[in-house]
Amino acid sequence: MVNLLPIATTVLAALLSIEPLHIGGYAALTPAFTLMATYHWTIYRPDLLPAPSLFMIGTAQDLLSGGLPGVTAVTLLLARAIVLTHRHYFIDRLFPFVWAGFTLLTGVAMLFLWALHSLLAAEFLDLREPVFHAVLTISVFPVASFLLGRSQRALIGAD
Amino acid sequence: MRIPQARRAAIERISFPLLIVISAVMIIVGKADQVAFQSLRTAVMDAAAPALDMLSRPAAFVDAAADRAWGIIAVYRENARLAEENERLLGWQRLALRLSAENAQLHDLSKLVSEPSTSFVTARVIADSGGAYARSVMVNAGRDNGVARGQAAMTGEGLVGRVSEVGSRAARILLITDLNSRVPVIVEGTRQRAILAGDNSTRPSLRYVDAGTAIRIGDRIVTSGQGGVFPPGLPVGIVASVDGETVRVEPYAALSRVDYLRLVDYGLADALPIPLSIATRGGKRADSGAAVLPPRR
């Protein structure tokens, strides 16, 4: 049962991403919580957050947020694939190193999403908001990482 | 249950490219046909609405508590402001009463068919788009509450958007700032028609404005009623900047922090000739320009 923790926290992250906070301008800048959960679990327990579950969560998030279905799913799946091939660099490393890895991943994800949406809209979209969004995501990551790490240690441990 | 390492790797190798392909197909189909995922979308929306409703309550509570605390602190200043505003509004009320009486007389004189009666549903925002590429919100009222596609979503200040998808207990509102939003508007006091086009920024722009038209900062923008999606005269915003051909409009409603919305039924839903999501796609509005009369009562 506790093995469902990665999926449960990623679902929670997806719900948090669309949670209205009634703060002016927040909706557009909401941190990418789902990306944080994907990064964390792909490094520490990729077996418990398999690609199909990530696909389902990403698609549900798109359907609920009014976005184009498939966009979040493809982003999370690619992020998972990238992290999976590099996860040995991050295991048993100090947090700043893990954070630096997340910073790189967020940057790549932001550029990918911007390019994809620009392509779909057939025009270059404004890059300022995505950049703020990425900065906010990177700044919030330590808190998410701490909470996910704590819950992991308390409930399921390492692979 | 433990899946052996080798089998897990095999599943991984097969599922990853497959899921990427499925996602890509979904993106292409969803982009080409806006209504392709409509029923799936409303089903997921209905299923998640209770959870989202619960989750959004703490934030709404904190927001309301903060408002109340701030209200207590600012009560004297607020009172003075309201007294002054009340004075001003009484003046407007007198004017409105006079104009309303005059309007009724003119209606009688011209035998104009009266507007259909309006009804509205008040709904709470339970989810937003949470991203930089879409501007929409989900509310906790749906078909069961009398919400229908095409209804105008308003706050006390002005137009917020329109109902784009309806489930049985939740609905999605496409905000006027969304990249896909197109609203036929008119510059109040002139006969200048335009399309208010969202671009995901906080200030949508006016398109298809006749060259040489003088639009000034501060001009009021209201719906024109063309195309039959909205009735004419709903307040939308004021012109905030004019930079060459680019005219940007500041919406009256504070779109980035709406918590309650009024979904107003103007009885125009039957006037929609084709599905909304197609009718309002970028610039290709099926607007024949034909006048649509409200139904006779």
ipTM score of complex: 0.87
Partners of residue B44 in chain A, C-beta under 8 Å: 60, 63-64
DSSP H stretches of helix in B226-286: 276-279
- At residue B161, φ and ψ (nearest 5 deg) are 175, -160
Of B63, B131, B134, the CB nearest to A22: B63
Model confidence at B288: pLDDT above 60: no
Which tokens is A104 given? 């790189």
**Distance from the Cα of residue B162 to its chain's centroid:** 4
DSSP, collapsed to helix, strand or coil, labels residue B96 as: helix
Cα–Cα distances (Å) from B211 to A44, B215, B247, B289, in that order, read 61, 10, 12, 20
pTM over 0.80: no
Structural element, H or E, at residue B138? strand B136-139
Which tokens is B108 given? 């009688």
Distance CA A115, CA A113 (A): 5
Span of A32-41, B40-49, B65-74 with lowest mean pLDDT: B65-74
Assess B47–A contact: CB distance below 8 Å, yes or no: no
**Domain for residue B248, yes or no?**
yes
Length of chain B: 297
- Per-residue pLDDT, averaged over A74-90, amounts to 93
Categorize the per-residue pLDDT at A159 as very low, low, confident or very high, splitting at 50, 70 and 90: low
* pLDDT at res. B3: 60
Which tokens is A84 given? 């999976």
CATH of the domain at A44: 1.10.1760
Partners of residue B39 in chain A, C-beta under 8 Å: none
- Residue B109: which residues within 8 A CB-CB, separation 6 or more? none
Output DSSP code: residue B255: G
Q: Which of A9, A122, A16 is nearest to B180 (CA)?
A: A122
pLDDT above 90 coverage of chain B, percent: 22
Domain count along chain A:
1
* pLDDT at res. B286: 34
CATH of the domain at B209: 2.40.10.340
Distance CA B177, CA B136 (A): 9
Assess A18–B contact: CB distance below 8 Å, yes or no: yes
Distance CA B180, CA A14 (A): 24
* Selected residues 35-74 of chain A with any CB under 8 Å from a CB in chain B: 47, 50-52, 55, 58-60, 63-71, 73-74
Model confidence at A24: pLDDT above 70: no
**Domain for residue B166, yes or no?**
yes
Q: Assess contact for A33 and A14: CB atoms under 8 A.
A: yes
Contact A64 B179 (CB under 8 A): no
Q: What would the pLDDT profile of B241-259 be if each residue is shown by its tens digit?
A: 888 788 899 999 888 778 8
**Domain for residue B144, yes or no?**
yes
Q: Which of A78, A129, A87 is nearest to A108 (CA)?
A: A78
Instruction: Name which residue leads in pLDDT, B247 or B210.
Output: B247
Question: Please, which residues bridge with residue B251 across strands?
Answer: B237
Q: What does pLDDT average to over chain B?
A: 81
Of B19, B37, B137, the CB nearest to A55: B19
* Residue A82 CB neighbours (<10 A): 17
**Domain for residue B28, yes or no?**
no
**Distance from the Cα of residue B168 to its chain's centroid:** 19
Amino acid at B274: I
Distance CA B123, CA B145 (A): 10
* Selected residues 178-237 of chain B with any CB under 8 Å from a CB in chain A: 179, 199-202
- Residue B8: which residues within 8 A CB-CB, separation 6 or more? A47
**Domain for residue B2, yes or no?**
no
Q: Assess contact for A146 and A9: CB atoms under 8 A.
A: no
Q: Give the structural domain span for B259.
A: 33-73+115-284
Instruction: Name which residue leads in pLDDT, B130 or A15.
Output: A15
Cα–Cα distances (Å) from B126 to B50, B60, B172, B273, in that order, read 9, 9, 10, 30
Model confidence at A25: pLDDT above 70: no
Q: Give the A:B interface size as CB pairs under 8 Å.
A: 157
Q: Give the structural domain span for A22.
A: 2-155
Model confidence at A103: pLDDT above 80: yes
Distance CA B71, CA B121 (A): 27
pLDDT above 90 coverage of chain A, percent: 60
**Residue B269, burial from CB neighbour count under 10 angstroms (0-12, 13-18, 19+):** middle
